[in-house]
């Protein structure tokens, strides 16, 4: 028997028992006559002791143990002389009578400690060592607990978990597809699902009524801290529902997760905001509501007074950084540098501060004291506050002010990871126009239905149509989203036309769905939630890779197994594929 107990299990009440443990050597300490070994497994650390009473060869073996050796020991649980209150097993040690090295280990390339010295890339290359560290293991445990809670909750609500295929046809979710060549049908390709969107809709046509799946999705797009080429969604669909039914169902799931995982109660309904409101008041469709700093439009007050930057602008808009009036010149200049970075792309910030000396702005010569007083009144400004005002083309200015708002939120410590502000954003535009091609794109995906009252405008005035879609936003992160779907062939065909598909194209790509809509498709809708993101939100960190067992780096590589990689000529030949640029 390899072990009678785990390394996290033994307490004072076990004293006197003979036990067998197995695990990894965390460290050994040789103190003259005594040798201590910390033995670690997933459950904890237990101290092993060897002293002058121990057999000489046994002590020699104990002394020779290196970090991460795998060992197997038998001994008696003994009360410790100097107890360690920081360890659950800290009251006992094992006085060992047998010690066997099951496997040696090279010195690990970084320390297997909570605070390791290993950089990201090195830890990803040796991810199996990284996962031995507590924080990494705890992340996987959190992920597991959340997955279990999701499954239990949805199952109790009659949702069926149904698996859908991975080798499919393109599902347009706005990214590039990963494709897989078919050997048996040369020249043809499968696409990996960007989501199971069409399959879950077909499950509704099939009468499944309530579906969910914790499922891998694949999108070939540029990567960031909260994006991976393969990621996991909690994917859901319901039949015979309206938007309210869906929001209620998944608000229930979210509340259940908050309660069961974090012990947080949300009594009232989640806040709701229309897309237009979110853009107007926060300059983005996923506002972080942990703090205020709502946008205030100053255009009418600020324009027409001879200050050219404001006069030429489509929009003059600002936020109130409360309590920042005494920021130094260096600090306010740093904010200007921040918004001038190409990622933000603004030209500058106009300040109005209210100190003991009264209101003072960087544009005093264009505005009278009374006029500045009116600005202050519009912001409900108090002494001690600092207004940050930006101007320019409306959308760009809002976008830049959003960046500034978030930056200030960080700088002022207003974005506490332990506070959660969930929000439904609703009534998105159905379509957006691509600046360069002038073509319409689905803002969500092409299966999203218009709000019923806008449906008649779909072909005549596409830009005016709002979608029956919703996003769940928590703390400025889009955690999920979905929509009521089109379930009528004619409307789906009209949508494809607006998106620029020829009828033939639409039939080639989505004939299966259009056909299904002719065999009794029920009204349906659903949503999908980014599981990796949700776990990282609850884990209080922003990099989703910390919560994925084997993540890819920012270049989309798995540096542990070294993928992607070349394949043999023979394999290529079999697939009927020629490669133009071979990797070295
Ligand atoms: N398939 C969508 C997505 O992946 C979610 C949905 O509409 O249910 O974003």
What DSSP letter does each residue of 351-374 carry, written as one string?
EEEEETTEEEETTGGGS-HHHHHH
> Is-contact 3 24, C-beta < 8 A?
no
| DSSP annotation string for 2-67 | --SS-TT---GGGTT-EEEEEEEEEEEEEETTEEEEEEEETTEEEEEEE-TTS-HHHHHHHHHPPT
Residue of higher predicted confidence among 49 and 436 = 49
| pLDDT at residue number 582 | 72
Q: For tokens 């603004």, what's the residue?
A: 346
Closest residue by CA, ligand 1 atom 4: 195
pLDDT in tens, 13-62: 999 999 999 999 999 999 888 999 999 999 999 999 999 888 899 999 99
Residues with CB under 6 A from ligand 1: 173, 195, 197, 445, 481-483, 526-528
> What mean pLDDT comes out for the span 537-555?
94
Instruction: Indicate the top mutation candidate among 212, 214, 253, 527 to test ligand 1's pocket, ranked by most ligand atoms within 8 A of CB.
Output: 527
| pLDDT at residue number 435 | 85
Q: How far is the CA of 195 from the centre of ligand 1 (A)?
A: 7
Please check the confidence at residue 223 and state whether its pLDDT lies above 90: no
Handedness of CA 353, 354, 357, 360 (dihedral sign): positive
| pLDDT at residue number 237 | 98
| pLDDT at residue number 224 | 77
Average pLDDT over the chain, rounded to an integer:
96
Atom of ligand 1 nearest to the CA of 448: 7
Q: How far is the CA of 290 from the centre of ligand 1 (A)?
A: 26
Closest CA to 174 of 570, 566, 472, 499: 499
| pLDDT at residue number 171 | 78
Atom of ligand 1 nearest to the CA of 217: 4
Closest residue by CA, ligand 1 atom 7: 482
Please check the confidence at residue 391 and state whether its pLDDT lies above 90: yes
> Is-contact 320 296, C-beta < 8 A?
yes
pTM: 0.94
> What mean pLDDT comes out for the span 490-517?
96
Atom of ligand 1 nearest to the CA of 196: 1
Confidence of residue 422 (pLDDT cuts 50, 70, 90): very high
Q: How far is the CA of 527 from the centre of ligand 1 (A)?
A: 6
pLDDT in tens, 459-496: 999 999 999 999 999 999 999 999 999 999 999 999 99
> What mean pLDDT comes out for the span 396-402?
97
Atom of ligand 1 nearest to the CA of 526: 8
Atom of ligand 1 nearest to the CA of 235: 8
- Percent of the chain exceeding pLDDT 90 equals 94
Atom of ligand 1 nearest to the CA of 200: 8
Please check the confidence at residue 583 and state whether its pLDDT lies above 80: no
Q: For tokens 């309210």, what's the residue?
A: 244
Q: How far is the CA of 501 from the centre of ligand 1 (A)?
A: 21
| pLDDT at residue number 222 | 85
> What mean pLDDT comes out for the span 177-187?
95
- Percent of the chain exceeding pLDDT 70 equals 100
467: its two tokens? 């979608």
Q: How far is the CA of 453 from the centre of ligand 1 (A)?
A: 23
Closest CA to 510 of 445, 462, 562: 445
pLDDT in tens, 298-312: 999 999 999 999 999
455: helix, strand or coil: helix
Confidence of residue 317 (pLDDT cuts 50, 70, 90): very high
| pLDDT at residue number 113 | 94
């Amino acid at each position: 028997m390899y072990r009678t107990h785990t390394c996290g299990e033994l307490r004072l009440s076990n004293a006197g028992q003979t036990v067998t443990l197995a695990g990894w050597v965390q460290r050994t300490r040789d103190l003259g006559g005594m040798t201590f070994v910390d033995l670690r497994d997933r459950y904890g650390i237990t101290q092993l002791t060897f002293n002058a009473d121990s057999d000489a060869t046994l002590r020699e073996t104990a002394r020779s143990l290196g970090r991460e050796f795998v060992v197997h020991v038998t001994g008696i649980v003994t009360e410790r002389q100097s107890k360690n209150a920081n360890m659950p097993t800290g009251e006992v040690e094992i006085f060992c009578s047998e010690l066997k090295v099951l496997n040696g280990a090279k010195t690990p390339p970084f320390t297997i400690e909570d605070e390791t010295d290993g950089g990201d890339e090195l830890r990803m290359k040796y991810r199996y060592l990284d996962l031995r560290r507590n924080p990494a293991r705890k992340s996987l445990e959190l992920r597991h607990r959340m997955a279990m809670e999701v499954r239990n909750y949805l199952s109790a609500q009659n949702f069926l978990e149904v698996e859908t295929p991975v080798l499919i046809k393109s599902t347009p979710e706005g990214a590039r597809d990963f494709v897989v060549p078919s050997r048996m049908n040369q020249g043809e390709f499968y696409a990996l699902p960007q989501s199971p969107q069409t399959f879950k809709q077909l499950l509704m046509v099939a009468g499944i009524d309530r579906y969910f799946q914790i499922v891998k999705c694949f999108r070939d797009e540029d990567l960031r801290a909260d994006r991976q080429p393969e990621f996991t969604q909690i994917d859901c669909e319901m039949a015979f529902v309206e938007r309210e039914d869906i929001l209620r169902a998944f608000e229930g799931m979210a509340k259940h997760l908050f309660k069961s995982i974090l012990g947080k109660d949300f009594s009232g309904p989640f806040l709701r905001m229309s897309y237009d409101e979110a853009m107007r008041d926060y300059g983005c469709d996923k506002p972080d509501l942990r703090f205020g700093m709502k946008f205030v439009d100053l255009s009418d007050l600020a324009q027409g007074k001879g200050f050219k930057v404001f006069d030429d602008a489509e929009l003059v808009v600002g936020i109130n950084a409360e309590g920042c009036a005494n920021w130094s010149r260096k600090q306010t200049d740093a904010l200007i540098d921040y918004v001038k970075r190409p990622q933000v792309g603004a030209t500058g910030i106009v300040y109005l501060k209210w100190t003991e000396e009264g209101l003072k702005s960087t544009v005093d010569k264009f505005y009278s004291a009374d006029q500045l007083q009116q600005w202050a009144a519009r912001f409900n400004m108090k002494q001690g506050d600092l207004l940050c005002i930006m101007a320019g083309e409306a959308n760009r200015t809002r976008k830049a002010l959003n960046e500034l708002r978030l930056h200030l939120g960080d700088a002022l410590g207003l974005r506490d990871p332990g506070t959660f502000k969930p929000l439904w954003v609703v009534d998105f535009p159905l379509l957006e126009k691509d600046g360069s091609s002038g073509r319409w794109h689905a803002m969500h995906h092409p299966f999203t239905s218009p709000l019923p009252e806008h449906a008649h405008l779909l072909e005549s005035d596409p830009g005016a149509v709002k979608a029956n879609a919703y996003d769940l936003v928590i703390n400025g992160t889009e955690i999920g989203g979905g929509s009521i779907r089109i379930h009528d062939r004619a409307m789906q065909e009209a949508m494809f036309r607006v998106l620029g598909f020829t009828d033939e194209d639409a039939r080639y790509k989505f004939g299966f769905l259009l056909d299904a809509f002719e065999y009794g498709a029920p009204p349906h809708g659903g949503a999908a939630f980014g599981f990796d993101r949700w776990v990282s939100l609850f884990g209080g960190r922003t990099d989703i890779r910390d919560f994925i067992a084997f993540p890819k780096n920012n270049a989309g590589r798995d540096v542990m197994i070294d993928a992607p990689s070349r394949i043999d000529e023979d394999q290529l030949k079999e697939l009927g594929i020629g490669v133009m640029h071979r990797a070295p």
